[in-house]
Amino acid sequence: MIKVVHYINQFFSGIGGEEKADIKPEVREGVVGPGMALKAALGADMEIVATVICGDSYFNENIEEATAEIITMISKYSPDLFIAGPAFNAGRYGVACGSICKAVKEELNIPVLTAMYIENPGADMFKKDLHIVETANAATGMRKAIPAMANLAKKLAHNQEIGSPVEEGYISRGIRKNVFKSERGSKRAVNMLVAKLKGESFETEYPMPVFDRVAPNPPILDLTKAKIALVTSGGIVPKHNPDRIESSSASKYGKYDIEGVYDLTEETYETAHGGHDPVYANLDADRVLPVDVLRDLEKEGVIGKLHRYFYSTVGNGTSVASSKAFAHKFTQELLADGVDAVILTST
């Protein structure tokens, strides 16, 4: 019997949603939540002996401590395989699944597997280290995700040869292998070119990365009359983070009034960002969001006016899809407020 330990978050365990995202790691015997479907798909020779549960916020805000505690929980069962998720497009959950899988693989030396949407930040962070089954972007894709996870899990558990990403359904890891083909490379290349010229379908043997191309706006001709706004992915927020923006894989952004504010002091502002040492940002948040410098430029007449609101979120682990959604929403407000240009700062 192959022993499996499964990892899920507070939502899929039935404990609760965002209001319970701060729960500490706990372990339960047997299957919980999606583990029921996973158990059925794995077959009679594989058993989920335990399920580890942890809140997404707690894990991402206490990565080292949470990882160590969860590894201890897992190791007590001496599993042959570890499975996390599926996380779909839940960013913090995806990062947690990837982090735990990598730690288990390195420290317990057993096969690991997780699953998530391709735009989940955890996918980009861990696809080179792990097999990550590609899923839909929401839990509505559970019925397709579970069989794909089970099929790959069986191969990993039995140390069978793993096929290509297309064959097995996992996200490409960027690993290239030499294989023998019936036709030489030059002929295959010409065949692909002919198919492309004819508008026929073909599959490249070397897929290229796709990058967004953003055309720059025309320059501002007269800065002395321009209204400038500040936006940051550096997580600068009023003291005590009133909107509770997550330190990683942010699900929200904040809008803050700086009318009459000339300096972001240690007593009034801080960073919510968890991806760097926050000491210097907390001592002087102007290092990330230069309100003091913009006020000087405003006073000197270099710019027309600093917009009274700044927008802030955390870039650490936040998905591209979430970032685009945030920007689409608040740029409408900036345009309505007559803002001419935005200075976007990071960490």
Domain-embedded: residue 341:
yes
Position 181 scores a pLDDT of: 86
Instruction: Tell which residue, 105, 104, 85, has the closest CA to residue 95.
Output: 85
Show which of 168, 202, 235 is a domain's final residue: 168
Domain-embedded: residue 115:
yes
Show which of 146, 168, 190 is a domain's final residue: 168
Residue whose token pair is 């972001």:
264
234 in the same domain as 160: no
Find out whether 185 and 193 touch, Cβ atoms under 8 Å.
Answer: no
254 in the same domain as 142: no
Show which of 123, 150, 168 is a domain's final residue: 168
256 in the same domain as 138: no
Find out whether 84 and 129 touch, Cβ atoms under 8 Å.
Answer: no
Rg (CA), the chain: 24
Average pLDDT score, the chain: 92
Instruction: Tell which residue, 9, 92, 18, 17, has the closest CA to residue 274.
Output: 92
Domain-embedded: residue 138:
yes
In this predicted structure, which of 35-44, 202-211, 263-272, 332-341 has the lowest mean pLDDT? 202-211
Domain-embedded: residue 305:
yes
Range among 80-89, 160-169, 273-282 rated most confident = 80-89
Domain-embedded: residue 174:
no
In this predicted structure, which of 41-45, 92-96, 321-325 has the lowest mean pLDDT? 321-325
Q: How many domains does the chain have?
A: 2
Decide if pLDDT at 49 tops 90. Answer: yes
Domain-embedded: residue 231:
yes
238 in the same domain as 142: no
Domain-embedded: residue 273:
yes
Confidence band (pLDDT; 50, 70, 90) for 68?
Answer: very high
Question: Which helix (H) or strand (E) segment is 63 a member of?
Answer: helix 63-75
Distance CA 277, CA 343 (A): 23
243 in the same domain as 128: no
- Beta pairing, strands 46-54 & 2-9: parallel
Q: What's the DSSP call for residue 17?
A: S
Find out whether 12 and 34 touch, Cβ atoms under 8 Å.
Answer: yes
pTM attached to this predicted model: 0.69
Residue by residue, DSSP assigns 141-177 as GHHHHHHHHHHHHHHHHTTPPP--HHHHTBPP-S---
247-271 mean pLDDT: 93
- Residue 128 φ then ψ, to 5°: -80, -20
247 in the same domain as 142: no
Q: Domain of residue 305: give its range.
A: 223-345
295 in the same domain as 151: no
Domain containing 41 — which CATH number? 3.40.50.2300
Domain-embedded: residue 262:
yes
158 in the same domain as 42: yes
Distance CA 74, CA 149 (A): 20
274 in the same domain as 161: no
